[in-house]
């Protein structure tokens, strides 16, 4: 350190405490960066890399950004996943003895950013903290620093459940113990794409008590306090807007794992970043940013309480019935700004006068909204109306204090209204009178001297002056003015009276600006006392906004109120995929029924590619989700059970990050469903087994169907191209075949998109290839090959499990012979000792106790032996 200059030594000492962040080091009007920070920042921000003397022979790399425009550069770094430590001068340079004292005043990270392009108005920006207890139990706490919302839960089970919850809330940053398991950290980074931070402190501090008062479980306390310690250390300012932690349990909501949310495109599209084509995009007719954020929360966590869901139905129905009131409400809501984030900015100390004007305008809408809601004359709307607090005293204070059109800066004056403060009014009066005197002086001097071009001007260097052009100087009476400055074409003068007035005016201006800033800070502090009331009102406004949004969408798109029950019956008449229907616009959507009961738990869906099998499956899942968030559903009638979880395996995608093939991803997603599903779950499996060889795929598909049928009992939609599996309807009591129909017309394939009972009679694969306009010669050759294959094909007959075969009076040897149809049948004369051993192994298999992955491994081993 001794080899560097004192300033660089100071920089290095501070940088050592923030090694994972860019250090924005304040030097005058610039934030400077040095060494590696400078090299990397110059590349990321595309700014010039320079160097400076640091006390060593070799010059130090350096780059910088102007103080007044630093926010844009900081936003860029945060969006790229970096952290930025803001290091300010905390000592007046004029009073400093040696190097000016500097300190980091805030650490800005992806999870703590409060404003800017990196934070979406209709999405929460969560930062989470994890505590890992023994026995596979995790504490998870998270907050949106911009709104002050706090939540905490305890997750029992594997780390996959923790990863799903983190991915579900979309945490941008995750705080962990420095000694946390490195593999878990890696998984969080990969699955959630979150920035990882570390905080070892998690003990109780008195200042945290108001927000952790309801936390009594150790996992809740540890994770919440780890989060609070991190926020306190990094933000170094008031966190008065943080609300008490709300405890929730994951079983209180329908669980939709990370893969299923992606497959169903609930909040994010599978491809691209545009929200179009997602369920959120369909349902979001909210008029406020707060409503948009709460809608995403509802969609992320559908309810499982019939009572709570039906309360939402009732309110949606009321808003549909009161059409004109809903239209008026939408207009009023458009004038309500983001109360939650305004309150956060006030508490954080970065709200300006324009923010307070937005707050005032929002509060002025509340009485009208309350009156309108109360006018619907129902107990539930009365409940909402009573909770709306217009904060009249705050609105009146802001109306009295803040100018209607204040500047962005809070240090340039023009913020406080006349009449709010006596001293400020006196200073303004002195300044205005002084300026009137200046204007009168100019007029008087023109008349006395006869110089029409004479003017009284002002600049910061010389103050007020009288300017006369060089051509007119000769017309001045000798000794009338005191010469002050000579210009190329003019002379500038002063008088004793002018300097006296100048002192009065400038003192008044300077003091009034200082006083306005003091008054504004005092006003902002007074607003802090209203934050809990503002947050309560914001919650109710958000809820009302969602009900009007659901009502608007349901009415416009002809959705119906579903009937919820606790039986095994699922009936959706004329169901539609809500998002596909909207995207299609004026094109007619072909609706389909879905009927399942205790005798029909598994639908085996066949039909050609592109016929609509996946769309049909997705629409059932989306209908269930919409029903359980409290929205009406796309159907002419819907009778639904309440699902505790939804699992999907739809589409083929390699997981390149983890280096896993399509088939492995398929098996992992299948395993997740089979391991965690209950009889009250909904499972969607689309063409399971297609990622491997035909016989392996069919074996796995059948084994999965049998396992779900016998061991789980969940409602399942299972689409397949293995037509041989349709025979399972005869062998398994709760399996039923349906197919998506298509017809040939003049040798061409026409998709009807209609789901009918029974299995499909053909695959139509070559017809689909023809629709894709593959070369005609290739299509004809494929038909020839298909004909030849069909001649030589050994029909695959799905076998009953060994237990079912015995119940039916079949011998185990028959079962063995059926299972052997998976492989080329060996000739009896070639059957050797190894072959008999393979047969014995197959005979001893207990398929019911095997997972699909175990079945696949056994089949692979047997196949190798047979090939020998």
Has 611 been labeled as part of a binding site?
yes
Which residue ranges of the chain lie beneath pLDDT 70? Answer: 1-2, 133-135, 651-662, 691-693, 743-751, 761-772, 779, 783, 785-786, 789-834, 847-849, 851-853, 867-868
In a domain? residue 399: no
- Count of residues in the chain: 868
Buried residues in 755-781 as b, exposed as e (16+ CB within 10 A): beeebbeebbebbbebeeeeeeeeeee
Has 210 been labeled as part of a binding site?
no
Partner residues linked to 77 by β-bridges = none
Helices (H) and strands (E) in the chain, counts: 30, 27
Among 400, 403, 392, CA closest to 364: 392
Look at the block and give the residue holding tokens 């004192």: 6
Q: Is 349 left (phi over 0), alpha (psi -120 to 50) or beta?
A: left
The SS3 call for residue 613 is: helix
The answer on 153 and 25 residing in a single domain is no
Domain with 451 in it: what CATH number?
Answer: 1.10.1420.10
CA distance 114 to 125: 9
Q: What is the DSSP string of 327-379?
A: HHHHHHHTT---HHHHHHHHHHT---HHHHHHHHHHHHHHHHHHHHHHTT--H
Q: Backbone phi, then psi, for 563, in 5-degree steps?
A: -105, 120
The answer on 684 and 765 residing in a single domain is yes
Has 610 been labeled as part of a binding site?
yes
The answer on 224 and 144 residing in a single domain is yes
Please report the pLDDT score of residue 776 as a whole number.
Answer: 76
The SS3 call for residue 858 is: helix
The structure's pTM equals: 0.82
In a domain? residue 260: no
The answer on 590 and 713 residing in a single domain is yes
Among 71, 59, 54, 52, CA closest to 12: 54
The answer on 443 and 373 residing in a single domain is no
Has 586 been labeled as part of a binding site?
no
Look at the block and give the residue holding tokens 């794409």: 193
In a domain? residue 211: yes
CA distance 221 to 201: 12
**173-176 and 126-133 as β-strands: parallel, antiparallel, unpaired?**
parallel
Domain count, the chain: 6
**22-27 and 84-89 as β-strands: parallel, antiparallel, unpaired?**
parallel
Cα dihedral 229, 234, 240, 246, rounded to 10, equals -50
In a domain? residue 273: no
In a domain? residue 278: no
The answer on 662 and 751 residing in a single domain is yes
**Residue 375, number of CB atoms within 10 A of its CB:** 12
What is the DSSP code (8-state) at residue 822? G
Please report the pLDDT score of residue 849 as a whole number.
Answer: 67
Question: Could you give the C-alpha distances from 397 to 417, 530, 533, in angstroms and in order?
Answer: 11, 12, 15
Contact 652, 689 (CB under 8 A): no
The answer on 792 and 651 residing in a single domain is yes
Partner residues linked to 603 by β-bridges = 717, 736
Structure token digits, residue 123: 């999405």
Has 837 been labeled as part of a binding site?
no
Structure token digits, residue 394: 């705050």
Look at the block and give the residue holding tokens 């479980």: 217
CA distance 83 to 351: 22
Cα of 752 vs its chain's centroid, Å: 37
Domain with 743 in it: what CATH number?
Answer: 3.40.50.300
Has 613 been labeled as part of a binding site?
yes
**Residue 507, number of CB atoms within 10 A of its CB:** 14
Q: Backbone phi, then psi, for 586, in 5-degree steps?
A: -75, -15
Domain with 100 in it: what CATH number?
Answer: 3.40.1170.10
Among 488, 494, 440, CA closest to 466: 494
Q: What is the pLDDT of residues 88-104, one digit of tens each?
A: 999 888 888 888 999 99
Domain with 167 in it: what CATH number?
Answer: 3.30.420.110
CA distance 230 to 202: 9
Single residue among 205, 236, 252 that ends a domain in this structure: 252
In a domain? residue 570: yes
The answer on 652 and 518 residing in a single domain is no
Please report the pLDDT score of residue 793 as a whole number.
Answer: 57
Strand order in the sheet with 84-89: 50-52, 60-66, 30-34, 22-27, 84-89, 102-108
The answer on 713 and 582 residing in a single domain is yes
Structure token digits, residue 543: 């809820």
Please report the pLDDT score of residue 279 as a whole number.
Answer: 96
Gyration radius from the chain CA atoms = 36
The answer on 631 and 664 residing in a single domain is yes
Among 496, 504, 493, CA closest to 434: 504
3-state helix, strand, coil in the chain (%, to 5): 50, 20, 35
Has 431 been labeled as part of a binding site?
no
CA distance 376 to 386: 13
The answer on 590 and 725 residing in a single domain is yes
CA distance 53 to 39: 16
Partner residues linked to 655 by β-bridges = 660
In a domain? residue 812: yes
Single residue among 753, 771, 798 that ends a domain in this structure: 798
Q: Is 692 left (phi over 0), alpha (psi -120 to 50) or beta?
A: beta
Range of 819's domain? Answer: 806-867
Q: What is the pLDDT of residues 742-757, one digit of tens each?
A: 766 655 656 677 888 8
Look at the block and give the residue holding tokens 């006018």: 375
The answer on 673 and 747 residing in a single domain is yes
In a domain? residue 70: yes
Structure token digits, residue 626: 């919409």
CA distance 740 to 537: 49
Has 532 been labeled as part of a binding site?
no
CA distance 792 to 438: 108
């Amino acid at each position: 350190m001794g080899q560097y200059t004192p300033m660089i030594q100071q920089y290095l000492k501070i940088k050592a405490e923030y090694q994972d962040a860019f250090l924005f080091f304040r030097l005058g009007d610039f934030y400077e960066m040095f060494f590696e920070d400078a090299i990397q920042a110059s590349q990321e921000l595309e700014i010039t890399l320079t160097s400076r003397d640091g006390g060593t022979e070799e010059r130090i790399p350096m780059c910088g950004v102007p103080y007044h425009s630093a926010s844009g550069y900081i936003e860029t770094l945060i969006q790229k996943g970096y952290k930025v430590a803001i290091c300010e001068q905390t000592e007046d340079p004029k009073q400093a003895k040696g190097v000016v004292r500097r300190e980091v005043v805030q650490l800005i990270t992806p999870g703590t950013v409060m404003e800017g392009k990196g934070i979406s108005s209709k999405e929460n920006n969560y930062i989470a903290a994890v505590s890992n207890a023994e026995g596979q139990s995790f504490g998870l706490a998270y907050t949106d620093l911009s709104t002050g919302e706090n939540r905490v839960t305890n997750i029992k089970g594997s780390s996959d459940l923790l990863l799903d919850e983190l991915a579900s809330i979309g945490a941008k940053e995750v705080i962990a113990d420095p000694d946390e398991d490195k593999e878990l950290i890696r998984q969080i980074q990969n699955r959630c794409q979150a920035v990882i931070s570390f905080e070892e402190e998690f003990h109780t501090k008195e200042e945290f008590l108001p927000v952790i008062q309801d936390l009594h479980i150790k996992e809740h306390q540890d994770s919440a306090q780890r989060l609070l310690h991190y926020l306190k250390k990094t933000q170094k300012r008031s966190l008065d807007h943080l609300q008490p932690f709300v405890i929730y349990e994951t079983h209180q909501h329908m669980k939709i794992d990370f893969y299923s949310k992606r497959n169903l495109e609930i909040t994010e599209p599978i491809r691209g970043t545009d929200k179009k084509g997602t369920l959120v995009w369909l349902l979001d007719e909210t008029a406020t940013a707060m409503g948009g954020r709460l809608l995403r929360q509802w969609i992320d966590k559908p309810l499982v309480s019939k009572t709570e869901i039906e309360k939402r139905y009732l309110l949606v129905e009321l808003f549909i019935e009161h059409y004109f009131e809903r239209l008026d409400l939408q207009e009023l809501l458009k004038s309500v700004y983001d109360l939650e984030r305004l309150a956060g900015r006030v508490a954080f100390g970065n709200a300006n006068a324009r923010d307070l004007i937005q707050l005032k305008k929002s509060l002025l809408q509340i009485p009208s909204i309350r009156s309108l809601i109360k006018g619907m004359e129902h107990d539930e709307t009365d409940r909402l109306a009573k909770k709306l607090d217009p904060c009249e005293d705050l609105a009146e204070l802001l109306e009295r204090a803040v100018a209607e059109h204040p500047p962005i800066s809070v240090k340039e004056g023009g913020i406080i209204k006349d009449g709010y403060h006596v001293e400020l009014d006196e200073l303004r009066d002195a300044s205005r009178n002084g300026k009137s005197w200046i204007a009168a002086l100019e007029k008087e001097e023109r008349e006395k001297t006869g110089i029409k071009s004479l003017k009284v001007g002002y600049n910061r260097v010389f103050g007020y002056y009288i300017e006369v052009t060089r051509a007119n100087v000769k017309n001045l009476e000798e000794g009338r003015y005191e010469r002050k400055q000579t210009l190329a074409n003019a002379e500038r003068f002063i008088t004793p009276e002018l300097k006296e007035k100048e002192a009065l005016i400038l003192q008044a201006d300077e003091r009034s600006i200082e006083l306005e800033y003091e008054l504004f800070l005092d006003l902002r502090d007074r607003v802090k006392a209203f934050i809990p009331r503002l947050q309560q009102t914001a919650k109710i406004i958000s809820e009302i906004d969602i009900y009007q949004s659901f009502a608007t969408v349901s009415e416009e798109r002809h959705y119906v109120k579903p009937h919820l029950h606790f039986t095994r019956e699922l009936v959706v008449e004329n169901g539609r995929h809500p998002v596909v229907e909207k995207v299609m616009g004026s094109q007619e959507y072909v609706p389909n029924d879905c009927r399942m009961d205790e005798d029909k738990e598994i639908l085996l869906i066949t039909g050609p590619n592109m016929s609509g099998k996946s769309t049909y499956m997705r629409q059932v899942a989306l209908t269930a989700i919409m029903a359980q968030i409290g929205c009406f559903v796309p159907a002419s009638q819907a009778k639904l059970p309440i699902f505790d979880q939804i699992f999907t395996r739809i589409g083929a995608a390699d997981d390149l990050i983890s280096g896993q093939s399509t088939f492995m991803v398929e098996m992992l997603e299948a395993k997740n469903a089979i391991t965690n599903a209950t009889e009250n779950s909904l499972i969607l499996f689309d063409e399971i087994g297609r990622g491997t060889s035909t016989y392996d795929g069919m074996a796995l598909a059948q084994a999965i169907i049998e396992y779900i049928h016998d061991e789980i009992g969940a409602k399942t939609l299972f689409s397949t191209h293995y037509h041989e599996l349709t025979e399972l309807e005869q062998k398994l009591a709760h399996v039923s075949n349906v197919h998506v129909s298509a017809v040939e017309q003049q040798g061409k394939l026409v998709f009807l998109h209609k789901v009918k009972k029974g299995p499909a009679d053909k695959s139509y694969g070559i017809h689909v290839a023809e629709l894709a306009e593959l070369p005609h010669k290739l299509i004809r050759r494929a038909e020839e090959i298909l004909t030849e294959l069909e001649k030589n094909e050994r029909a695959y007959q799905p076998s009953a499990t060994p237990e079912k075969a015995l119940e039916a009076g079949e011998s185990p040897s028959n079962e063995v012979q059926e299972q052997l149809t998976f492989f080329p049948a060996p000739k009896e004369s070639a059957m050797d000792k190894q072959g008999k051993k393979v047969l014995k192994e197959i005979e001893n298999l207990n398929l019911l106790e095997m997972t699909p992955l175990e079945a696949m491994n056994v089949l692979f081993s047997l196949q190798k032996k047979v090939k020998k």
